[in-house]
């Protein structure tokens, strides 16, 4: 990516919020609630933020997944196995989260209230991830990968294997682009988890109502690149290096002056709202 393309990502005044080592909060919705509140703040004049986080054992479902006939039973089964579960308010389908999965949220202000150029926002995330992986020498592909979980137009892949999915949440004045990156471990262990979920959740439904997930679709950065067993940490460092290389002193000073982080209590309250609003209906 050339210098102008990097500038076009709009990272000059974005703040980094790295929570990849904050693992004490058991509810996976905590991170989504934080995104929601930060996005509202950004829409009211707050700074752009890149939120990076992990969860030790979470399973996030899409809205369409939550309407499958066996979704409630499948969720209870996951919870009995120690998974934190939730239905997210952004796009996409089922995704398992663990310490080998890196989540990135780009939270930015919309250029106008009636801005619907969501493809540009997906491209921004694609550009950031591609640049972060540039030193691996791997070409990052873009486009739906057949058999992958959480399939979409902005599946990111290397050598035909998906390693990243991107979803989006748009508010009136700001937006969130969320990406999950399978960094460590194997792709097959995650496809197995998702396939087992759909076997339960999709019982009695048309097979076209949920993705047909196959083992040969997904792989981790550990498997696909030269980043090694600590691929997650290496990837996070690379993302942060891309961002810091584009930040300007004036941009950072202005952003930090506008930053107001929500309190722990406010985040928990928003998580409760999201859980109740998007709960699976029996």
Domain extent for 24: 3-253
Question: Which range scores top for mean pLDDT: 87-91, 111-115, 175-179?
Answer: 175-179
Which long-range contacts (C-beta less than 8 Å, at least 24 apart) are formed by 238-243?
A: 238/132, 238/133, 238/135, 239/50, 239/52, 239/104, 239/128, 239/129, 239/132, 240/16, 240/18, 240/52, 241/132, 242/6, 242/11, 242/128, 242/131, 242/132, 243/11, 243/14, 243/16, 243/50, 243/128
In a domain, 269, yes or no: no
Query: Is residue 207 very low, low, confident or very high in pLDDT (cuts 50, 70, 90)?
Result: confident
77: annotated active-site residue? no
- Interval 210-256: pLDDT, tens: 999 999 999 999 999 999 999 999 999 999 999 999 999 999 999 99
Residue corresponding to tokens 């591609």? 130
Please report whether residue 46 resides in a domain.
yes
Q: Is residue 274 part of a domain?
A: no
Whole-model pTM? 0.96
Does residue 268 sit within a domain? Answer: no
Higher pLDDT, 119 or 154: 154
Task: Report whether pLDDT(116) > 80.
Answer: no
Q: Which of 50, 138, 150, 164 is catalytic?
A: 150
Least confident of 2-6, 30-34, 265-269: 2-6
Q: Mean pLDDT, to the nearest integer, of 251-266?
A: 96
CB 82 within 8 A of CB 126: no
Residue 115 has pLDDT above 70, yes or no: no
**What is the pLDDT confidence band of residue 117, given thresholds at 50, 70 and 90?**
low
Residue 176 belongs to some domain of the structure? yes
Name the average pLDDT for the chain. 94
Mean pLDDT of 38-51: 97
262 within domain boundaries:
no
pLDDT level of residue 123 (50, 70, 90 thresholds)? very high
User: Is 278 inside any structural domain?
Assistant: no
The answer to whether residue 60 sits within a structural domain is: yes
| Edge-to-edge strand list for the sheet holding 174-182 | 14-19, 48-53, 101-109, 174-182, 161-170, 156-158, 141-142
What is the reported pLDDT for 91? 81
CATH of the domain at 213: 3.30.930.10
CA distances to 7, 141, 188, 271 from 155, in Å: 23, 8, 17, 27
Q: Is the pLDDT of residue 121 over 70?
A: yes
Cross-strand bridge partners of residue 251: none
What is the count of structural domains for the chain?
Answer: 1
Q: Do residues 149 and 93 touch, judged by C-beta distance below 8 A?
A: yes
Query: Taking a C-beta distance cutoff of 8 angstroms, is the pair 144, 152 a contact?
Result: yes
pLDDT in tens, 69-80: 999 999 999 999
């Amino acid at each position: 990516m050339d210098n102008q393309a990097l500038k076009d990502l709009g990272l000059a005044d974005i703040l980094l919020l790295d929570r990849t080592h904050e693992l004490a909060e058991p509810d996976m919705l905590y991170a989504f609630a934080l995104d929601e509140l930060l996005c509202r703040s950004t829409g009211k004049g707050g700074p752009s933020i890149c939120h990076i986080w992990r969860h030790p054992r979470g399973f996030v479902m899409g809205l369409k997944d939550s309407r499958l006939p066996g979704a409630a039973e499948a969720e209870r089964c996951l919870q009995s196995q120690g998974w934190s579960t939730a239905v997210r308010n952004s796009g996409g389908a089922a995704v398992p989260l663990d310490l080998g999965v890196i989540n990135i949220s780009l939270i930015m202000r919309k250029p106008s209230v009636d801005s619907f150029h969501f493809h540009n926002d997906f491209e921004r995330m694609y550009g950031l991830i591609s640049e972060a992986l540039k030193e691996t020498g791997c070409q990052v592909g873009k486009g739906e990968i057949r058999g992958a979980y959480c399939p979409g137009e902005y599946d990111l892949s290397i050598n035909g294997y998906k390693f990243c999915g991107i979803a989006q949440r748009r508010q009136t004045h700001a937006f969130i682009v969320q990406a999950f990156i399978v960094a460590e471990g194997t792709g097959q262990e995650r496809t197995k988890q998702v396939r087992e979920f759909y076997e339960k959740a999709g019982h009695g439904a048309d097979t076209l109502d949920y993705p047909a997930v196959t083992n040969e679709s997904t792989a981790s950065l550990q498997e696909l690149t030269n980043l090694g067993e600590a691929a997650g940490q290496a990837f996070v460092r690379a993302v942060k290096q891309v961002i810091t290389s584009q930040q300007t002193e004036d941009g950072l000073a202005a952003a930090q002056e506008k930053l107001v982080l929500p309190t722990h209590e406010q985040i928990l309250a928003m998580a409760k709202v999201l859980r109740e609003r998007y709960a699976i209906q029996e």
